[in-house]
Amino acid sequence: MLLIENATVIDGTGRAAQPNTSILIDGERIAWIGPADAVDRSKPIEQTIDAGGKYVIPGLIDAHVHVCWNGRESVPELIKRNRDDLLLEAVTTLRSVLASGTTAVRDIGGQDYMEMSLQRAVEAGHFAGPHMRTSGKLICMTGGHGHFAAREADGPEELRKAAREQIKAGADNIKLMATGGVATPGQDVQAGQLTVAEMAAAVEAAHTMGCTASSHCHGALGIKNSLLAGMDSVEHGSYLDEETAEMMVEQGAALVLTLGVADPDLDDLPAAVRTEAERMQEPLETLRAHVRETVTLAREKGVFIGSGSDAGGNPLAPHDFSMARELEELVDHGLSPLEAIGIVTRNNARILRWEDEVGMLEAGKLADFVILAGDPLADISNVRNIEAVYKNGERVNPSQRI
Ligand SMILES: [Zn+2]
Q: What is the largest CA-CA distance in the chain?
A: 66
Task: List beta partners, residue 176.
Answer: 139, 215
* 387 has a pLDDT exceeding 80: yes
Total-model pTM? 0.97
* 90 has a pLDDT exceeding 90: yes
Identify the pLDDT of residue 187.
85
Mean pLDDT of the region 66-71: 96
pLDDT for 48-68, tens place per residue? 999 999 999 999 999 999 999
Mean pLDDT of the region 317-323: 94
**Interval between CA 18 and ligand 1 midpoint (Å):** 35
Mean pLDDT of the region 379-402: 90
Q: Between vectors from CA 69 to CA 145 and to CA 208, what angle results, nearest 5°?
A: 60
Identify the pLDDT of residue 401.
58
**Interval between CA 236 and ligand 1 midpoint (Å):** 8
Lowest mean pLDDT among 205-214, 257-266, 276-285: 276-285
Lowest mean pLDDT among 259-273, 279-293, 386-400: 259-273
* 100 has a pLDDT exceeding 90: yes
**Interval between CA 3 and ligand 1 midpoint (Å):** 38
CA dihedral sign, ordered 97, 99, 101, 106? positive
- Could you write out the DSSP letters of every residue in 195-209? -HHHHHHHHHHHHHT
Kindly give, in sequence order, each residue whose CB lies less than 8 Å from that of residue 202, ignoring residues fewer than 6 positions away: 139, 159, 160, 162, 163, 174, 176, 213, 229
**Interval between CA 4 and ligand 1 midpoint (Å):** 36
Identify the pLDDT of residue 157.
98
**Interval between CA 307 and ligand 1 midpoint (Å):** 12
Residue 190: pLDDT band (50, 70, 90) is: confident
How many CA within 13 A on the CB side of residue 17? Answer: 19
Closest CA to 36 of 66, 71, 6, 68: 6
Mean pLDDT of the region 193-219: 98
**Interval between CA 108 and ligand 1 midpoint (Å):** 6
Identify the pLDDT of residue 115.
98
pLDDT for 112-131, tens place per residue? 999 999 999 999 999 999 99
Closest CA to 386 of 130, 104, 97: 97
**Interval between CA 48 and ligand 1 midpoint (Å):** 41
Specify the CATH superfamily of domain 2-58+359-400.
Answer: Urease, subunit C, domain 1 (2.30.40.10)
Residue pair 174/139 in contact (Cβ under 8 Å)? The answer is yes
**Interval between CA 64 and ligand 1 midpoint (Å):** 6
Residue pair 317/276 in contact (Cβ under 8 Å)? The answer is no
- Residue spans of the domains in the chain: they are 2-58+359-400, 60-351
* 319 has a pLDDT exceeding 60: yes
Mean pLDDT of the region 168-177: 98
Calpha distance 359→208 (Å, rounded): 26
**Interval between CA 380 and ligand 1 midpoint (Å):** 24
**Interval between CA 66 and ligand 1 midpoint (Å):** 7
**Interval between CA 65 and ligand 1 midpoint (Å):** 6
What's 345's DSSP letter? I
Neighbour-count burial of 144, counting CB atoms closer than 10 A to its CB (0-12 exposed, 13-18 middle, 19+ buried): buried
Identify the pLDDT of residue 156.
98
How many CA within 13 A on the CB side of residue 126? Answer: 11
* 261 has a pLDDT exceeding 90: no
Q: Compute φ and ψ for 192, nearest 5 degrees.
A: -75, 160
Assigned fold of 60-351 = TIM Barrel (3.20.20)
Calpha distance 326→70 (Å, rounded): 18
Higher-confidence position of 190 and 201:
201
**Interval between CA 389 and ligand 1 midpoint (Å):** 26
**Interval between CA 224 and ligand 1 midpoint (Å):** 19
Kindly give, in sequence order, each residue whose CB lies less than 8 Å from that of residue 84, ignoring residues fewer than 6 positions away: none
Mean pLDDT of the region 372-397: 97
pLDDT for 268-301, tens place per residue? 777 777 877 787 888 888 888 899 999 999 999 9
Arithmetic mean of pLDDT over the chain: 95
**Interval between CA 313 and ligand 1 midpoint (Å):** 5
* 203 has a pLDDT exceeding 80: yes
**Interval between CA 321 and ligand 1 midpoint (Å):** 17
Q: Between vectors from CA 244 to CA 324 and to CA 180, what angle results, nearest 5°?
A: 70
Distances (CA, A) of 340 to 8, 158, 373: 17, 39, 19
